[in-house]
Structure 1
Amino acid sequence: MGNVNFDLKDIPKSEDLLKFSNKNMPLKINAIQACLFLFRTTDEISKIVDSQFQKYGVSDGKFSVLMTLYNRNNHQLTPSELSNELNVTRATISGLLNGLEKDKLVERCKHPSDGRMLTIKITEKGVKLMDELCPKHFTLLSKLLGSLDCESLNSFIDNLKLIRIGIADRIFE
C-alpha cells in the first residue's frame, strides 16, 4: 500500500474547519473530517501491512504482481496484461518484475504463440511464498477490520464504492 504519511494527531474540530467555509464555497464539515479519519486510518493500515510484507522481502507492488499471477490458472501473464490488471505503467511493472526476477519469484518465458513477446510466470519459489504469506496476510486484514460486524462491513464497502464512483465522476482543478 502506498504510504500517505498522514500524521495529523488531532482531526480539526468543526468550528476550526468552518473558518474556511463561506456562502460562495460552503464546506461539508463532516465530509472533511471523515476524509481526514480515512487518511489517518489508511496510513496506519499501510504501516502494519508494509511491516508484514517486509518480513517476507516484498513490497505491496511486488505482492500485487505475485497475487495476480498466483490467481491465474497457468500462473502467467504478459507484462502488458499485468500492467492493465494492476492499473500501473509498463515502466512500473518492468521495475517490479526486475526485482521479482532477481529474487527468483518470477521468470520471463517465451510467449507460447508469439515469439516476439514474453510472458511472466510465477516460479515454484514464488508459489511457496504466496502459499505461506497469503493466509497470514488475509488473517491480518481480517483482524484489522474485525471490530466491525458483518452488516457494518457491508455498509462500509458500499460507502467506499459510492466514494469511488463520486471520485470517478468529478473533474478536479
Structure 2
Amino acid sequence: MSFDFTDRPDAHRLELMRKAYPDVDTQSVLTFLNFRACFRAVAADYQRVLDRFGLSESRFLILMFLYHNQPQALGITTLATKLGATKATTSKLVGGMVKSGLVEKVSTAADKRATLIQMTYAGAELLDRFLPVNYQAVNHLFRHLTHDEQVQLNHLLDKLLPDAQ
C-alpha cells in the first residue's frame, strides 16, 4: 500500500491507525492533511504569479516595505526584522535585488559608512505592473468563498497562529 502525497488517508484508514496509536484524532489529522494540501496548491499557484515577474515572495515583500516607507530608505536590520529573516539572508536578497536594479544602496547623511536600501525606478515600475496581477490572483483564489466565509476563514486561521489563545 502506497502513502504518498496524492494518496491521503481517509477516515477509515486513520481509524485503523488508532489501534496502534490511540492518540490519533481522526478529524484533526484529516483537517491537517487538507490544510497542507491546500497550502501547497495555493503556494504553487502564487509562485507561478511571482515567477512571471521574476519575483520571490521575499523580494516582493522587500519592495512593499520600501514602497510603504517612501521617501525614506530602510536599513538591512529593519528589513530583516520586517521580513522575519536573518540579516545575512536579507543582505543576500538585497544584493540580488541591487544586481537586478530593483533597489539601490544609499549612504546616510549622518554616517557615510552606513547604507540604507531604497527602491529604484525599475523596482517601482515592476511593483506597479505586478500589484494589479497580484490582486487579481488573490481575488481568483477566493472566488468560491463569500465575503462572510472569508471573514470566518480568517477567524479560524487566526486561531491556528502560535500567539492565539
Q: Does the alignment reach a TM-score above 0.5? A: yes
- 1:78 aligns with one of 70, 75, 78: 75
Query: 1:72 deviation in Å?
Result: 1.6
For residues 34-64 of structure 1, give each alpha carbon's deviation from its aligned partner in whole angstroms, at most 9, with x where no partner exists.
1111111111111111112111111122111
Query: 1:28 deviation in Å?
Result: 2.2
> Percentage identity across aligned positions?
22
The equivalent residue for 1:35 is 32
The equivalent residue for 1:3 is none
What is the CA–CA distance in structure 2 between the aligned matches of 1:10 and 1:93, rounded to whole Å?
A: 37
Which structure 1 residue ranges, 5 or more long, are not aligned? Answer: 1-6
Which structure 2 residue ranges, 5 or more long, are not aligned? Answer: none
What is the CA–CA distance in structure 2 between the aligned matches of 1:76 and 1:22, rounded to whole Å?
A: 59
The secondary structure found in structure 1 opposite 2:18 is coil
Taking the TM superposition and a 5 Å limit, the aligned residue runs for 1:38-117 are 38-74=35-71, 76-117=73-114
The alignment status of 1:15 with 2:34, answered yes or no, reads no
Query: 1:27 deviation in Å?
Result: 2.5
Letter in 1 for 2:160: I
* Residues 58, 83 of structure 2: 8 Å contact kept: no
What is the CA–CA distance in structure 2 between the aligned matches of 1:24 and 1:54, rounded to whole Å?
A: 42
The root-mean-square deviation of aligned C-alpha atoms, in Å, is 2.2
Query: 1:113 deviation in Å?
Result: 3.0
Query: 1:24 deviation in Å?
Result: 7.9
Between the two proteins, the alignment pairs up a number of residues equal to 162
